[in-house]
Structure formats: C-alpha cells, structure tokens
Amino acid sequence: MRLNESTLVVGQHVCLVPYLREHVATYHQWMGDPELLEATASERQSLESEMENQQSWHANPDILTFIIIDKAQMLATPVAKRTVTSGMIGDINAFIQPDRRFEAELSVMIAEPTARRKGFARDAVLTFLRYCIEHLRISHIKAIVDDSNPASLRFFEKLHFRRAAYTRAFQSWTLERVISERLCHSDGTPLEAGEPPSDGDAPEEEEEDAFAFIQVSASVNEGEEDTPTGPPCGTPLCPEPETSEAIAAWREEVLLAETARHFLVAPVDQWIRDN
C-alpha cells in the first residue's frame, strides 16, 4: 500500500485514489450488502475490524489498493467541499505474491448500485493496468471467475481475456491476458524472474519497462490446482499462447488507445485541490 499511499491515477471516467482511513466508513457500509459479500466471498466485519484492515493494508508492501472515484461526480463537487471520499463507487486491488514479486492477485468491485453497467469497471481496470505497466513489473493478468457469474466472464472476454483452464472443484474459469510483449518469450510466455531473454525474445529497444503477473480472483481457494479438462458444455480453451505481435497489438489497440487521452498520475492532494 505504501507504493501508492499518495498517488492518484486518472482515467477517462474514474479516478483511483489510495484507500485511506476516511474511506472506511463508506466501505463498511458497502460490505453490509449480502449480495456484495457473496460476490466477493467475504464475511461481514465490524467497523473496528475494517479500520484495522485499512491500517494493515496501508503498512503492507504487498498490497496495492485504490478506491474508485466517479470522476464527473468528484469534479462537480465544489473545490471547497471536495475530499478523497467525493464520488466513491468501488475499489480495485492487487495483492503481490511476496516470494514471486512479478505475480499478484487483482480484484475489482463496483459497489454503488447506481454506478453499475456504466463502463466504470472497464475504465478502472484499464487505467489500473496501465499504471501497473508503467510503475510496477507487470506482464500477465489472470482472471478467475465462477462459472455461475456469466456477466464477469463476458466482462473479461470483452477485454480479450482467453479461457485457459477450468477448475472443476470450484466450477471456476481461469482467463488470461498478456498485457505486454516485453520481458516475455516470443511465444508470449513470461520470463521467470532474473531470466534473460534469448536473442529471438529480446525487445528491439532496451528501455526499462516493468511487468508482473496479476491474478483477478473471485472465490477460489489458494492451492487448488486448475485443470484444463472438463469445462462445461465443451467450451473450448485457448490452445496456444499469443504471439508477441498479438500482445503488442492488444496493448496498442485496446489498453493504450482507451487510456491515451486521459491517463495521468499525480499527487492525490494536489490534483483534488487544483482541478
């Protein structure tokens, strides 16, 4: 959390602000909704516990948490009354694996019912991924979605995620998306930490870039092995990794194209005060 404790990331329709103590009361109210608890595989906690969690996440170098802000709603609030809580609609998080710093688990939630089905989740995910590419070590994304959640499956597939495995025990899909061709083999598979690229894998330019492995997770327990066999109704799995050319095209035509005009990283207090 210290990675982004004073960082605001601006997208087309959303702003991402660090999860602060001021947000906890609203977050606690959100998590009183039984539907959200079920969708996020969470349990109801006391306000005091939520306060403790926020402090713990803030101190944890392996957790990256942002509150999703409705940008238009925030900017419509008079500057004198504007705070980091103005326009709160959800959250987005990355949990970085301590022993594999290029891997993480990503979750996104639009908690305000009036903010759903308006494109905020897509904008938040793309904005967040661009931030991770440019400021962390990100190359791969994995999304784990329950088979009973077709809306989430469609959401990720519209972002060109590919079904890679099906976990029969939890009836869940693993969807994958490589978001950068750099620090990957030519067939799209990631380099291990510290592994140099071969001559055919090396990028043309030697500029520094940053990638990791992100997992978008619903309610799959850690340690359950995914299996590519037995998906329901014979749904096909993607047989081969994407080529570097396909990865680069997705990055240019989807990620960068949708974030190019609005993407900005700035100190949170300064941006709220000056815009």
The secondary structure of 164-209 as a DSSP string is EEEETTTTEEEEEEE--STTB-TTSPBPPTTPPPPTTT--SS----
The token pair at 57 is 């996440």
Which among 139, 146, 69, 52 has a CA at the least distance from the CA of 104?
A: 139
The token pair at 27 is 């977050």
- Amino acid at the residue 260: A
The token pair at 197 is 């690229």
Three-state DSSP at 79 gives helix
Consecutive 10-residue averages of pLDDT for the chain (275 residues)? 85 95 96 88 92 93 92 93 94 78 78 94 92 78 82 88 88 81 55 48 35 36 41 63 84 90 90 83
Rounded Cα–Cα distance for residues 182 and 188 (Å): 9
The domain that holds 19 is classified in CATH as 3.40.630.30
DSSP code at position 159: T
At residue 269, the pLDDT reads 85
Residue in the block written with tokens 């490589």: 178
**What residues are paired with 98 via a beta bridge?**
none
At residue 239, the pLDDT reads 60
Report residue 258 CA to chain centroid gap.
16
Indicate the helix (H) or strand (E) that contains 257.
helix 257-259
The token pair at 98 is 């301590």
Q: How many residues does the chain have?
A: 275
Residue in the block written with tokens 């997208």: 11
Provide the domain limits for residue 162: 2-274
Strands 14-18 and 7-10: antiparallel
Which among 73, 71, 53 has a CA at the least distance from the CA of 63?
A: 53
Contacts of 48 (CB under 8 A, 6+ apart): none
Three-state DSSP at 264 gives strand
At residue 232, the pLDDT reads 60
Q: Do 102 and 212 touch, CB atoms closer than 8 A?
A: yes
Which among 5, 151, 149, 128 has a CA at the least distance from the CA of 69?
A: 128
Quickly list H helices, 110-194.
120-135, 150-158
At residue 237, the pLDDT reads 73
At residue 235, the pLDDT reads 63
How many domains does the structure of the chain reveal? 1
Handedness of CA 18, 183, 189, 193 (dihedral sign): negative
